[in-house]
Structure 1
Amino acid sequence: RAVRHQEYFAAFFCGIARLLACAMGCLQSIACKPRIRRENIVVYEVSASIDQCPTVIEENSPIVLRYKTPYFRASAGVVMPPVPRNETWVVGWIQACTQMEFYNTYGDIGMSSWELPELREGRVKAISDSDGVSYPWYGNTTETVTLTGPTSKPSRLTVSMNDNFYPSVTWAVPISNSNTPMLTHITRDQSFITWLVAMNTVTKERIVLQTVRWRMRVDIAVDPEMPLGSRASLVGRPCQEQPHILNYQEPIPPNALGRPNANDAQVLMWRPRRGLHLLLYHPKSMKV
């Protein structure tokens, strides 16, 4: 009987040992599961620039003046470490508008103004500048690359984006039924932050890899009494200040990541020299 007890306890302790070994193996497996971290990601050949050419003014239409600004361009190479099984990472550009002044002056009558109310009133620090579909990304063509695990070796990729303004401004006062040209000045000053980001699509973990700040300014003088084709001219500096690639990473404000984007959040105001201000264009984000 003593021998049987010894055999029983030996078998019992062997079973416990196997369970402990199995548990330790599982813990070790969890602890050793590869995880993508900022220090494992290599960013190289980062570039950000604005084309060194002046804004082009178009006076082809008797209804509107159009102008086309030079392009802001950003590009970067990224080497991502192997992506674990059941994980998907997107690397790309996220952009937000942080400041906007856009005034179209009609002599001493007043001015129209495109505005971002939440930004103007200081309720938010930034508004998403996504294409309105690919939130939070600026776009979904050259702007992003998607990596789905498992991948067995590092992935080398390139992401790029570009941005510019190409608006129309009415020659006549926007609230008038007259087609008489009255536009005398256009002023635009807009600032942006652009982030290069790696994001886990499941956990939404975001790793900011690079931060760029840039600004676009337009200053156009208009003589409405001149014939069409010779009314408008650029004033001020002909070329834009070049972007700043920061040597530190700025956090991404919540409003830079989701709806509405800047196009859908903007309103058009009429601000007369005398009288009440009028809202001419409601933000798309408020429309039913």
Structure 2
Amino acid sequence: MNVRYTQILPSLVILTLLLTRAMGCIQSIACKPRIRRENIVVYEVSASIDQCPTVIEENSPIVLRYKTPYFRASAGIVMPPVPRNETWTVGWIQACTQMEFYNTYGDIGMSSWELPELREGRAKAISDSDGVSYPWYGNTTETVTISGPTSKPSRLTVSMNDNFYPSVTWAVPVSNSNAPMLTHITRDQSFITWLVALNSATKERIVLQTVRWRMHVDIAVDPSMPLGSRASLVGRPHQEQPHILANNEPIPPNALGRPNANDAQVLMWRPRRGAPLVVIPSK
């Protein structure tokens, strides 16, 4: 009897210890809830491009300017309670995935704003951050930050907008002449915009929504006409509306950090005859 009892007792002790530890783990997990995609509610997602044509400005004898309609995105989000010592930011991240931006000067050649990493296939996307708030597009209406602990769900709204407002020289950019030679402007640029929740400490990212959009500009120019009546829009007057995707897309690494598209782009001069020339290098 004594032998059997001494053999059973250690087993009971070990079992009790294991159960106690298991219960402690379960309680610990219950006390530290995780933010998961299925616990975040996204509602009233909208993405649109204003239904107005690109506006051409011929006020300057040096440059033509044009202003495209705005792309706008907005979403409402309900975040679950945030645990102690955690901080989450919810907002918009945007990247350029394709860019063709050609300014033609008759039969002389063309200038071209280019993103070399995209052009050469070394990156799938380039960050379109404001250059300060990486990885976010901006840090005003574009993001909201919540620091724990919060005892109840948080309701928030984030929004952003984007458009083009560039200047294009009337004269050949590598020439000493000021004579207007510009004959055509073509711009075709594509973007992906993600709605994301980001854990500030762990850098865990939860993609909540993905939007694809595109802006196309086609302007014909007659440099022989007087200033104010040289340029006109050709092609469709309104932009194709954005697509809110049913399935989210992953964020490529280049979309999250430096350089942003403005700093990565270069201005090339590509003559009809002769070698290309870098007019403005990347920053």
| Letter of the 2:206 counterpart | I
Deviation at 1:53, TM superposition (A): 0.2
Report the equivalent of 1:237: 236
Listed as ranges, the matches of 1:113-262 within 5 Å are 113-262=112-261
Residues 1:31 and 2:19 aligned together: no
* Whole-angstrom CA distance in 1 between matches of 2:28 and 2:111: 60
SS at match of 1:260: coil
Deviation at 1:28, TM superposition (A): 2.1
| Letter of the 1:130 counterpart | S
Deviation at 1:16, TM superposition (A): 8.9
SS at match of 1:39: helix
Instruction: Report the aligned-residue RMSD.
Output: 1.8
SS at match of 2:118: helix
* Whole-angstrom CA distance in 1 between matches of 2:149 and 2:83: 5
* Whole-angstrom CA distance in 2 between matches of 1:74 and 1:129: 15
Q: Percent identity?
A: 86
Report the equivalent of 1:277: 276
Deviation at 1:22, TM superposition (A): 6.3
TM-score (norm 1): 0.91
SS at match of 2:270: strand
How many pairs are equivalent? 274
Runs of 5+ in structure 2 lacking a partner?
1-8
- Measured against aligned partners, the alpha-carbon deviations of 1:132-163 in whole angstroms (never above 9, x if no partner) come to 00000000000000000000000000000000
Runs of 5+ in structure 1 lacking a partner?
1-9
Report the equivalent of 2:57: 58
Query: More displaced, 185-194 or 19-28?
Result: 19-28
| Letter of the 1:28 counterpart | I
Deviation at 1:276, TM superposition (A): 1.1
| Letter of the 2:119 counterpart | R
Residues 1:110 and 2:109 aligned together: yes
Deviation at 1:223, TM superposition (A): 0.4
* Whole-angstrom CA distance in 1 between matches of 2:24 and 2:281: 58
| Letter of the 1:177 counterpart | N
